Chain A
Amino acid sequence: EPEVTQTPSHQVTQMGQEVILRCVPISNHLYFYWYRQILGQKVEFLVSFYNNEISEKSEIFDDQFSVERPDGSNFTLKIRSTKLEDSAMYFCASNPNGVETGELFFGEGSRLTVL
């Protein structure tokens, strides 16, 4: 069964460093998302991406964050200068036709620890 894959599974970084989290969405999906989950808390929306551009973003997704689809398969989240409060599990998700018509398929997540 097709699945969303994410790398790395765990990344430890120093505050102020840049981090890139990578995702390979399911191949025929058109909508891509990043969510984050601070330990024990809810799943928070960061950004959605469709047709090679950001379609919606949350207030969390400030200038320190960016997303890119550099080729036909990868979807990346970059945090330019990490802060302690960026420590969380970051989930990538994809969906064939948008969330109004169906489920989000989540990857297993990338745990980011900022020291």
Chain B
Amino acid sequence: GQQVMQIPQYQHVQEGEDFTTYCNSSTTLSNIQWYKQRPGGHPVFLIQLVKSGEVKKQKRLTFQFGEAKKNSSLHITATQTTDVGTYFCAGTSLFRGSNYKLTFGKGTLLTVNP
């Protein structure tokens, strides 16, 4: 079945440093979504990317969707302590055409040293 891989599993940075997490799918994706989960919390939607090669920005966060629609990245510029949490990518498979299942990656846990 569809697998979504994410690296790194953990990332510890000093406040002000940049952070990037990478996501790779075993199958071509219809779309990819990114979620943030604070410690002890629930996943909260950040963004959805649909088009091949799409780039979207939210303040210090930059999201990219690969040309082949199989990979994606999230980059945070100048991290702050409020960025702490686990960042998950999640995708729907293009060829299964599933509107019913979002498959999550394992997530990247970001910790920020003030």
Please list the residues of chain A having a beta carbon within 8 angstroms of any beta carbon in chain B.
Answer: 31, 33, 35, 41-45, 48, 50, 55-56, 58, 91, 97-109
Contacts and interface: CB of A to CB of B under 8 A. Distances in A.
11 contacts: A33-B102, A41-B106, A43-B35, A43-B90, A50-B100, A56-B98, A98-B100, A100-B30, A105-B45, A106-B43, A108-B41
A31 B88 contact: no
Contacts of B44: 106
Interface residues of B, number: 24
The majority secondary structure among interface residues of chain A is loop
Nearest to B109: A40
A93 B43 CA distance: 10
Given A41-B106, A42-B105, A100-B31, A55 B100 contact: yes
A84 B103 CA distance: 24
Nearest to B105: A42
A43 B88 contact: yes
